[in-house]
């Protein structure tokens, strides 16, 4: 039985996408599905390659009991094949990802993260990079909601296929 692979994508891979990756890993571990669901994150730009998650984002996540791990990497065309679902944090990230899919072969794999939120009405995960601490806390809360909804969706749909 192969693992279900999720890739979270934002611009620089130091704020939103590593937060989503680590929140999802936390929820997956709590659900006892660490062997079945694998998470990673990437950025559409090369601005922060090799950098750890943003310190301010790490503080906001730690306040919710989540430790941010990982190093920034850039999204690659090979990620389309490697991952079952690619989750863009905003519409610009979504379009940047799809630009790399010239044949539009992977359109069904790319979704907006906020599609899975049930308690927040935002359509996009805002980039908190240039704002204050309230922006980072808001992003963590939004991602906790969206990741919970995403996990429930993956469990529901993948369980039907016998993958989990």
Give me the pLDDT at residue 46, please.
93
Active site residue 127: yes
> Among the options 16, 40, 90, 145, which is catalytic?
16
Give me the pLDDT at residue 82, please.
97
63-73 residue pLDDT tens = 999 999 999 99
Distance of CA 55 to the CA centre of its chain: 18
* Structural contact between residues 118 and 152, judged by C-beta atoms closer than 8 angstroms: no
Active site residue 16: yes
Active site residue 96: no
> Among the options 54, 90, 127, 145, which is catalytic?
127
Which single residue is written with the structure tokens 């389309």?
A: 80
Q: Identify the burial level of 125 via C-beta atoms within 10 angstroms of its C-beta, where 0-12 means exposed, 13-18 middle and 19 or more buried.
A: buried
Domains of the chain are 4-158 (3.40.50.2300)
Averaged over successive runs of 10 residues, the pLDDT of the chain (164 residues) comes to 92 97 98 96 95 97 97 98 98 97 95 97 94 93 98 89 72
Give me the pLDDT at residue 1, please.
58
26-49 residue pLDDT tens = 999 999 999 999 999 999 999 999
Distance of CA 98 to the CA centre of its chain: 16
pTM of the model: 0.96
CA distance 103 to 82: 17
> Among the options 10, 15, 114, 147, which is catalytic?
10
CA distance 90 to 77: 19
């Amino acid at each position: 039985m192969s693992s279900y692979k999720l890739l979270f994508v934002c611009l620089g891979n130091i704020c939103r996408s590593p937060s989503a990756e680590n929140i999802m890993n936390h929820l997956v571990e709590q659900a006892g599905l660490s062997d079945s669901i694998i998470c990673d994150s990437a950025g559409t730009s090369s601005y922060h390659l090799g950098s750890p998650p943003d310190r301010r984002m790490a503080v906001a996540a730690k306040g919710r009991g989540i430790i941010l791990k990982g190093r920034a990497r850039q999204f690659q065309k090979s990620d389309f094949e490697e991952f079952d679902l690619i989750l863009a944090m905003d519409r610009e990230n979504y379009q940047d990802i799809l630009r790399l899919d010239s044949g539009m072969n992977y359109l069904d794999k790319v979704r907006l993260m906020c599609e899975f939120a049930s308690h927040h009405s935002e359509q996009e995960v805002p980039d908190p990079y240039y704002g204050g601490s309230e922006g980072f806390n808001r992003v963590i809360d939004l991602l906790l909601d969206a990741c919970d909804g995403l996990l429930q969706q993956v469990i529901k749909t993948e369980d039907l296929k016998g993958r989990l």
